[in-house]
Structure 1
Amino acid sequence: MLTRLFSLPAVALLWLLHFLPLSLLTPLGRALGALLYRVGGQRRKIAETNLALCFPELSAVDRNNLAKMHFAQLGRSMLERSIFWWGSRERIERTVRVVGEEKIRAELAAGKPVILMAPHFLGLDAGGVAITMRFNIVSIYSEQTNPVFNQVLLKGRSRFGDQLLLSRQDGARATVKAMKSGRPFYYLPDLNPRRRDAVFVPFFGIQTATITGLPRLARAAGATVLSCVTRMLPGSAGYEVHIGDAWTDFPGTDPVADAARMNAWIEAEIRTMPSQYYWVHRRFKTRPPGEPRPY
C-alpha cells in the first residue's frame, strides 16, 4: 500500500512531517488510516478476509472494529516511519525503547551466530532501525517496484552503522557467512511464499504456506534464534522492541514441525496485539492443491 502512494512530492511531504512531535504526528497517522479504510477498498477487503479467517469467534461488529483499528495504526506507522528515515539518533532513541538487547550481546560474545526473528507487525521498521543503531546486521532486501520508495527504503534501513542488505538472489550462503562473521540476521519469516518454496502448516487453524528458512538457516549457521517483536505503544508513547529468550531445542529434526512451531509462536504473539499484525497482506494467497484462494 505504501509503495503505491510514493512519489517525489510524497517524499517531500513525509520529510516535512518528520519535524512534527509525536503528539501531532500520531493523530495525523490515525486520521490517514481512517481515510485509507474508506478509500482503500481492495486492501480493506483483504484485511477483512484475513480477520474473518483468523478470528471466526469474533462477531462481525468486533471484526469490523478490529479492521478500523488496524487501519488507524497502519496510517500511524506510515507517517511515523518518517522519524526512522530522517529523524536524529537522539529522537529515535527517545521514540523506540529496546528491551533485552543484552541477550543478543551475550550470544555474540559467546561466538554464537544470531537470528532475530521479526514477524510482520506494523512497528517492524521502528524495530529494525533501533537494532541497526546498536548492531551491524545482515538482512534480506526485496527490490521494490516503485523506484522512489525503493531508494528511500534502502537509505532508511542503512543510515546507521555498517549494515549489509542482501537481495534474495544472493542466496542463503551469503546470509550464513554474514551471520558467522558476527552479524545478527534480522529475519522476516511470515510472507506468503511460492508453493514450490513452501510447506503447509497450521496458522490460526488454517493450512498456510510457510517457508522453512528459519530452521534451515539456523542449522546451517549453528545460530541461536531470538524473537524480536516491535509493539506500537498507546497514544504517542512510541514503540517498544522486545528481544525474547533463545529458543530451545531448535531447530529440531523435522523442518515441517519447526515451521509449525514458528507459526504457533507468531499466532500467540498476534493474539496479544491483534490490530498490529500486517493484515493487508495476502497471507493465505498460496493454497494447497485444489483449494480455492480466499481473495
Structure 2
Amino acid sequence: MMSRLGIWLMQRSAVLPLRWVRAIGWLLGHLLYLLIGSRRHVVETNLRLCFPAMAVRERRALARRTFVAFGQSWMDRGWLWHAPPAVVARRLNLVGAVEELEGDAPTILFGPHFYGLDAAATAIAIRVPRRYTSIYTQQADPAVDEWIKAGRLRFGDCRVFSRATGIKEIVASLRAGDVFYLLPDMDFGAADSVFVPFFGVSAATLPSVPRFARLGRAKIITVLPRLTPQGYTVELLPAWKDFPGADATEDTALMNRRLEGYIDRMPEQYYWVHKRFKTRPEGEPSVY
C-alpha cells in the first residue's frame, strides 16, 4: 500500500516545476542524512577510506551533499518517467562524443554509479536511434519493480537482461550491434570478482568490462551524467584506446583508476550510499 502511494506521489510530482522538484529532493536528502544513521555511517566510512587526507569537517559536508544529490535524483525519476516527452527531452543535454554511437559497431557504455544513471539511459534512448540493453536487478516489491522497469523502458528500443542471464545472450546482443549499458562498479560479492584498488583500497570488482569487450569485440565509451539546475548534462567520452589488454585483472584495475578521475570531477554525485568495500580479501575485517 505504501509503495503504491509513493509511486502515485512520484507520478503527481511530474507536473511540478523542476526547481520545486529539486527543493523537495533537497529536503528529502537532508532528512535521510539526519534520520538514517546506518546509511550515513556507510557514506562517511567510504569517504574516509577514499579521501583520507580530507579534513573531517569537509568529509561531513561532502556526505551531506551526496545525500542531497541522492534525494534530488530520486525525485527526478518522477518527471523522467512520467512527464511529457518534450519536457524530458528539454531537461536532458547529451554532449561529447555522440558520434561514437553512430553506426552499428558493438558498443559498451561504461556507466559508473553516479546518481544520474537513469537520466543518462533516458537521454541516450531519446536521442540515439539504436537498440540498447542493460542488466536489471529485480526489486522485492512487485509494484516498485513494475514501476522502475516501465520507467527505464519508456523511451527508445530498449530491453533489459536479468542478472541470471547467461553471458552468451549478452555477447550475441553486442555482436548484433546493440549498445550495452553496463554498470560494473558495485560490490557484487566475491564470486567472479577480482580484488583491485579503488582509491587505494582493495575492492571486489567484476571484470565484466574487459570480459564483454573481448567476447563482444566491442568498444568502450564512458557515460557521465551530472545534475544541473536545468536537469542533467550527459557526457559521452571518446572510446577507450588499446582496450582490452591481455590481462583482465589489470584492465579492471585500469577501469577503477579511470573511475577515480571521473569521481574527482563531481564527488558528491557518486553512489557513496553503497557498501563498496563490503567484501574483503580473506582475513581482512569488515570496514563497516
Q: What is the CA distance between 1:75 and its match in structure 2? A: 0.7
| Residue 280, structure 1, aligned to residue 268, structure 2 | no
Instruction: Supply the distance in 1 between the matched residues of 2:186 and 2:237 (Cα, whole angstroms).
Output: 21
Partners of 1:103 and 1:245 within 8 A in 2:
no
The aligned residue for residue 200 of structure 2 is 205
Could you report, residue by residue, the CA deviation over 1:133-166 in whole angstroms, capped at 9, with x for unpaired residues? 2332011111111222111110001011221111
Show the counterpart of 1:270. 263
Is residue 6–residue 146 contact of structure 1 (8 Å, CA) maintained in 2? Answer: no
User: Residue 83 of structure 1 aligns to which amino acid in structure 2?
Assistant: W
Number of residue pairs matched by the alignment: 286
How far is 1:6 from its partner? 6.3
CA distance in 2, matches of 1:177, 1:37: 43
Of 60, 66, 89, which aligns to 1:64? 60
Q: TM-score, normalised by structure 1?
A: 0.94
1:43-192 to structure 2, matched below 5 A, reads 43-100=39-96, 102-106=98-102, 109=103, 111-133=104-126, 134=128, 135-192=130-187
- Per-residue CA deviation, residues 84-120 of structure 1 (Å, 9 max, x unaligned), is 11112111111110013633333xx2x4200000000
| C-alpha separation in 2, matches of 1:138 and 1:241 | 18
Could you tell me how far 1:127 is from its partner in structure 2? 0.5
What is the letter of the counterpart of residue 225 of structure 2? T
- The residue that corresponds to 1:22 in the other structure is 18
The 8 Å contact of residues 196 and 249 in structure 2, kept in 1 or not, is answered as: yes
Counterpart AA for 1:144:
Q
Which consecutive residues of structure 2, in runs of 5 or more, have no partner in the other structure? none
Q: What is the alpha-carbon root mean square deviation over aligned residues?
A: 1.3
Runs ≥4 in structure 1, deviation > 6 angstroms? none
Structure 1 regions of 5+ residues with no counterpart? none
1:209 match: secondary structure: strand
TM-score, scaled to structure 2: 0.96
Amino acid at match of 1:163: C
Superposed CA offset, 1:157-183 (max 9, x none): 101122111111111111111111121
In 2: Cα distance, 1:64 partner to 1:194 partner:
28
Aligned-pair identity in percent equals 41
Question: Is 1:34 the counterpart of 2:30 in the alignment?
Answer: yes
